[in-house]
Amino acid sequence: MNGKMKFYSLLGFFQLVLILIVFFSVDGIITMVAAQTESFDYYNSPTAAILAISAAISLSASVLGSAIALKTVGTAAISSLSEREESFFKSFLVVALCEALAVYGLIVAILLWTKIPTPA
């Protein structure tokens, strides 16, 4: 296994661990057991687990996509700056747009996170 494949497999494993941590932080096992009872508790419902997993996936996917885009665009921006220094603004703009992808994912994750039901 070469270094690139090892890196991507470790990155995927880390994201899986993060998803499992978020799932168990909203009492996922208790939710599965409580689903078999007759009373319905909204705060321990599968809705809370699904919202937490959705927030984790939206954040991790946007950051991963932003990292891949930034790797590609950053390399091209540095090479274009080495040839022509006048292209700084264009290079900076494209790199900033790549970083904005991660911010959009963070905003969506925060919006999903605020919708997780909690007892008052």
Distance from C-alpha of 32 to C-alpha of 44, rounded to nearest angstrom: 9
Whole-structure pTM value = 0.59
Number of Cβ atoms within 10 Å of the Cβ of 10: 10
Reading the chain (120 residues) residue by residue, the pLDDT tens digits are 788 888 888 888 888 887 777 667 655 556 655 656 666 556 667 777 788 888 889 899 999 999 998 888 888 888 888 888 888 888 888 888 888 888 998 998 998 888 887 765
Length of the chain: 120
- Helical segments of the chain, H only: 3-25, 28-34, 46-83, 88-114
